[in-house]
């Protein structure tokens, strides 16, 4: 059964939107239709956090609260969820939520414009953790920019939450869960003027839709796609939303590889991957912000094929494969054969990535580094990843990949050749450094000059080998 009515929970009631415009952002819905103007628009591209809201999702009889950027999420994605905006935090009797009180008590609100976003990020942190240390606080606020004064009073407010009482949402939890169960998300099919929007719930339904409409654009977390609407001011006329398909939200493992379903949010994956490849986790912690990673997917990162997509060099060095499906076919393709030009891939219309397979290499050394202008919430200038096995001081296998060094994320084949079967020595590393000039001819752009990129690429190779030699991490921030 499909429906064109979006149902979600707002202020303990089921709210309906009939046949919404599929390109309407949740931010515009909140401000222009609900007339709740606490949530602000800053950048309209997911980068400042002023528009942060919290979404409640039902998971195994519990509610998971996720901070997201409402400026880059479309209204139909609210289907089956709870919507929480800053006005909703005040209790019925008018008292402030513990997070709001903490911001008042510690003078955390300065300009005021960014404050609702900070409050909502802290609210999501408050709901998802039992205690709040500096690391948890910094991570929770990594997607919220304060450019007027500074973060100290906000961080102090966050720390004070360690002593706060429970809130009205905890008391109301059972009622909210029963409401969420009542609305049971449906498959959505919207035709609004010339725009089509589908949100199937199963792979089977998805395949039927793409068979009928092979020209639809896939939308997952929307952290790249939505910018077509909010920044390029264009319409997305034909959307098939994937993130309602729970069958594609999984992480499985066998003795050979980890398989990550296409709609698994990066935030879920980053926690899992730590036990296999801790540097993968470290890179993902610096990938956008919590708001971005709560919805963004690795499949979206791969399909976007940006030369500076952060997961891509890591996956290339690990020799990952992707599972590609259409309505009647399934193929497995090594990622190294997927990128064919600047933002061009082998994906054809009607084909989607259903999962990513990452080999488990327990005996190998895996390292990855991201160089960006800012530590948090910034995209790479250069990203490098190394996967190698050393046996009796000899490099027995090696795969190296870089982002930001070419039109596509790419393996450093010449460099690998120099190193393979060589003794692990300083001389060979110096030779391998030089060979990077054969692998890459980087470009100048606003993020970095070509000379800087090459220098960084060479230095990261040295860094990797120094870390291995000294058997310790040589890093300022991790
Ligand atoms: C503020 C901000 C910060 C960011 N920071 C980073 C960063 O630090 N590092 C980084 O690498 N990226 C960053 N990004 C980019 C973006 O978040 C990632 O590329 C993300 O992984 C995209 O995933 P998504 O699910 O949101 O994709 P979407 O935006 O939904 O889709 C992106 C593209 O992939 C296609 N697509 C999505 N899923 C599939 C599928 N299963 N099969 C086939 N095609 C599919 C879509 O059609 C679209 O062309 C940032 C973006 C923003 C807005
Ligand atoms: S308005 Fe800046 S993140 Fe949404
Ligand atoms: S308090 Fe809003 S920008 Fe600093």
What would the DSSP string read from start to end of 39-106? S--SSSSSSS-TTEEEEEEEETTEEEEEEEEGGGSBGGGGTTSEEE-GGGGS-TTSPPPHHHHHHHHT
pLDDT for res 152: 95
pLDDT for res 150: 86
- Rama region for 61: left / alpha / beta (φ>0; ψ in -120 to 50; rest): left
pLDDT band at 341 (very low <50, low <70, confident <90, very high): very high
Residue 457, in any domain of the structure = yes
Ligand of minimum distance to the alpha carbon of 221: 1
Residue 138, in any domain of the structure = yes
Position in ligand 3 atom list of the atom nearest CA 145: 3
67-94 pLDDT tens trace: 999 999 999 999 999 999 999 999 999 9
Q: Which of 185, 208, 227 marks a domain boundary?
A: 185
423-473 pLDDT tens trace: 999 999 999 999 999 999 999 998 999 999 999 999 999 999 999 999 999
Count of CA atoms in the C-beta half-sphere (13 A) of 274? 11
Position in ligand 1 atom list of the atom nearest CA 262: 41
408-434 pLDDT tens trace: 999 999 999 999 999 999 999 999 999
Q: Does residue 225 line the site of ligand 1, with CB under 6 A? A: yes
Residue 275 has pLDDT above 80, yes or no: yes
pLDDT for res 477: 65
pLDDT for res 168: 95
Q: Does residue 262 line the site of ligand 1, with CB under 6 A? A: yes
| Residues 6+ positions from 305 with CB-CB distance below 8 Å | 312, 338, 339, 343, 344, 345, 408, 409
Reduced to 3 states (helix: H, G, I; strand: E, B; else coil), residue 454 is helix
Q: Which two tokens stand for residue 169?
A: 């949402």
Q: Which of 170, 185, 200 marks a domain boundary?
A: 185
Q: Does residue 114 line the site of ligand 3, with CB under 6 A? A: yes
Is beta strand 187-192 parallel, antiparallel or unpaired with respect to 2-3? parallel
Task: Please state the rounded mean pLDDT for residues 337-342.
Answer: 98
Q: Does residue 50 line the site of ligand 2, with CB under 6 A? A: yes
Q: Which of 185, 210, 226 marks a domain boundary?
A: 185
Residue 149 has pLDDT above 80, yes or no: no
Choose among 476, 246, 215, 217: nearest CA to 370: 476
Kindly report the protein residue whose alpha carbon is nearest to atom 20 of ligand 1: 301
Ligand of minimum distance to the alpha carbon of 49: 2
pLDDT for res 377: 84
The number of beta carbons lying within 10 Å of the beta carbon of residue 19 is 17
230-265 pLDDT tens trace: 999 999 999 999 999 999 999 999 999 999 999 999
Ligand of minimum distance to the alpha carbon of 145: 3
Position in ligand 1 atom list of the atom nearest CA 225: 29
pLDDT for res 354: 98
Task: Please state the rounded mean pLDDT for residues 371-390.
Answer: 94
178-187 pLDDT tens trace: 999 999 878 9
pLDDT for res 376: 84
pLDDT band at 148 (very low <50, low <70, confident <90, very high): confident
Work out how many domains the chain is built from and give that number.
2
| DSSP H or E stretch at residue 335 | none
What's the mean pLDDT when you consider all of the chain?
96
Q: Does residue 113 line the site of ligand 2, with CB under 6 A? A: no
Residue 478 has pLDDT above 80, yes or no: no
Kindly report the protein residue whose alpha carbon is nearest to atom 3 of ligand 2: 46
- Domain CATH code at residue 418: 3.30.390.50
Residue 259, in any domain of the structure = no
pTM beyond 0.95:
yes
- Domain CATH code at residue 125: 3.10.20.30
* Residues forming beta bridges with residue 360, ordered by sequence position: none
Residue 414, in any domain of the structure = yes
pLDDT for res 465: 96
Residue 324, in any domain of the structure = no
Q: Which residue has the tokens 């949740």?
A: 26
Q: By percentage, how much of the chain surpasses pLDDT 90?
A: 94
Residue 312 has pLDDT above 90, yes or no: yes
Task: Please state the rounded mean pLDDT for residues 373-378.
Answer: 87
Residue 62, in any domain of the structure = yes
pLDDT for res 166: 87
d(CA 225, ligand 1 centre) in Å = 7
Using most ligand atoms within 8 A of CB, pick from 111, 117, 153 the residue to mutate for ligand 3.
Answer: 111
Sign of CA dihedral 313, 315, 316, 322: negative
**Domain coverage including residue 395:** 367-470
pLDDT for res 344: 98
Residues found in the chain: 478
Choose among 71, 75, 85, 68: nearest CA to 43: 71
Choose among 255, 218, 238, 223: nearest CA to 354: 218
Q: By percentage, how much of the chain surpasses pLDDT 70?
A: 100
Better-scored residue on pLDDT, 198 or 112: 198
CA dist 245 and 299 (Å) reads 14
22-73 pLDDT tens trace: 999 999 999 999 999 999 999 999 999 999 999 999 998 999 999 999 999 9
pLDDT for res 1: 78
CA dist 169 and 164 (Å) reads 14
Residue 437, in any domain of the structure = yes
Using most ligand atoms within 8 A of CB, pick from 40, 48, 378 the residue to mutate for ligand 2.
Answer: 48
Residue 111, in any domain of the structure = yes
Position in ligand 1 atom list of the atom nearest CA 379: 8
* Residues forming beta bridges with residue 189, ordered by sequence position: 198
Q: Does residue 107 line the site of ligand 3, with CB under 6 A? A: no
The number of beta carbons lying within 10 Å of the beta carbon of residue 109 is 19
Q: Does residue 219 line the site of ligand 1, with CB under 6 A? A: yes
Task: Please state the rounded mean pLDDT for residues 208-229.
Answer: 97
CA angle, 249 as apex, 267 and 50 as ends, to 5°? 40
Ligand of minimum distance to the alpha carbon of 292: 1
Count of CA atoms in the C-beta half-sphere (13 A) of 428? 16
């Amino acid at each position: 059964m499909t429906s064109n009515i979006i149902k979600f929970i707002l202020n303990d009631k089921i709210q309906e939107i009939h046949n919404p415009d599929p390109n309407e952002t949740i931010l515009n819905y909140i401000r222009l239709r609900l007339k709740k103007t606490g949530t602000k628009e800053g950048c309209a591209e997911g980068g400042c956090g002023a528009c942060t809201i919290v979404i409640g999702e039902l998971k195994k009889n519990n509610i998971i609260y996720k901070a997201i950027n409402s400026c880059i999420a479309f209204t139909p994605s609210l289907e089956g969820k709870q919507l929480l905006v800053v006005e909703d935090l005040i209790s019925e009797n008018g008292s402030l939520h513990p997070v709001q009180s903490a911001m008042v008590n510690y003078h955390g609100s300065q300009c005021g414009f960014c404050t609702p976003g900070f409050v909502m990020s802290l609210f999501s942190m408050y709901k998802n953790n039992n205690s709040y240390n500096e690391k948890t606080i910094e991570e929770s606020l990594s997607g919220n920019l304060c450019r007027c004064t500074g973060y100290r009073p906000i961080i102090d407010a966050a720390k004070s939450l360690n002593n706060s009482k429970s809130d009205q949402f905890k008391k109301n939890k059972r009622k909210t869960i029963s409401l969420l169960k009542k609305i049971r998300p449906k498959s959505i099919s919207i035709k609004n003027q010339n725009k089509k929007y589908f949100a199937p719930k199963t792979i089977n339904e998805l395949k039927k839709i793409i068979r009928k409409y092979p020209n639809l654009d896939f939308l997952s977390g929307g952290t790249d796609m939505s910018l077509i609407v909010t920044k390029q001011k264009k319409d997305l006329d034909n959307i098939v939303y994937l993130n309602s398909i729970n069958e594609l939200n999984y992480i499985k493992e066998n003795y050979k590889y980890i398989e990550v379903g296409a709609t698994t949010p990066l935030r879920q994956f980053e926690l899992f991957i730590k036990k296999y490849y801790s540097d993968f986790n470290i890179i993902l912690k610096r990938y956008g912000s919590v708001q971005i990673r709560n919805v963004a997917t690795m499949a979206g990162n791969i399909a976007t094929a940006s030369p500076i997509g952060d997961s891509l060099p890591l996956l290339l060095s690990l020799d990952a494969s992707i599972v590609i499906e259409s309505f009647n076919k399934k193929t497995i393709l090594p990622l190294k054969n997927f990128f064919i030009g600047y933002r061009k891939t082998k994906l054809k219309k009607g084909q989607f990535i259903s999962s990513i397979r990452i080999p488990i290499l327990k005996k190998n050394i895996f390292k990855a580094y991201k160089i960006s202008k800012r530590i948090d919430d910034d995209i790479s200038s250069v990203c490098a990843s190394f996967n190698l096995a050393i046996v009796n001081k000899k490099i027995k296998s090696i795969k190296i990949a870089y982002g930001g060094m070419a039109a596509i994320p790419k393996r450093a084949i010449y460099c690998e050749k120099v190193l393979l079967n060589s003794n692990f020595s300083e001389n060979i590393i110096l030779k391998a450094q030089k060979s990077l000039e054969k692998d890459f001819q980087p470009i100048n752009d606003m993020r970095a000059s070509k000379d800087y990129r090459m220098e960084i690429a060479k230095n990261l190779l040295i860094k990797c080998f120094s870390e291995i030699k000294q058997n310790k991490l040589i890093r300022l921030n991790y």
